[in-house]
Amino acid sequence: MADETAAGSALRAGRRGRCPRCAEGRLFRGPLTLAVRERCETCGLSNAFADSGDGPAVFVIMILGLLVLGAALIVEFKLSPPLWAHLMLWAPLTGLLAFGLLRPMKATLIALQYRAEEARPADDES
Ligand SMILES: [Zn+2]
């Protein structure tokens, strides 16, 4: 995998929720939590650097806002369903998609953060 780009490996590690360095150890403490393990169980990488803040939620909101609003507008103009049908369709779908996207997005941002830390010169303390 020497020819793989840093962004490509970050996306792959993020999609699978794996360690940003070895891409094998699990990043999260459990299957339904967003809490990050203190160390990678495979390579021992300390995840103390990992602080994605509100970034994952912001990206998920933007992506889902675009997709769900676009889909809702298409359905409205093509089928003109009643308002309750929109509510019954889009509210659960948005919740499920947000739940499904949040962990991969957080893992991807942590992997990109790891790549940025890795690329920073060692004497740069700021
Ligand atoms: Zn690891």
- How many domains, in total, are found in the chain? 1
Residue 25, domain member (yes or no): yes
CB atoms within 5 A of ion ligand 1 belong to: 19, 21-22, 25, 40, 42-43, 45
pTM value is 0.83
CB 17 within 8 A of CB 28: yes
Residue 124, domain member (yes or no): no
Each residue of 13-56: pLDDT tens digit?
A: 889 999 999 989 999 999 889 999 999 999 999 999 998 899 99
Cα–ligand 1 centroid distance for 96 (angstroms): 29
CB 54 within 8 A of CB 40: no
Residue 98, domain member (yes or no): yes
What is the pLDDT, as a whole number, of residue 124? 58
CA angle 80, 73, 62 (to 5 degrees): 150
Residue 57, domain member (yes or no): yes
What residue numbers bound the domain in which 58 lies? Answer: 6-119
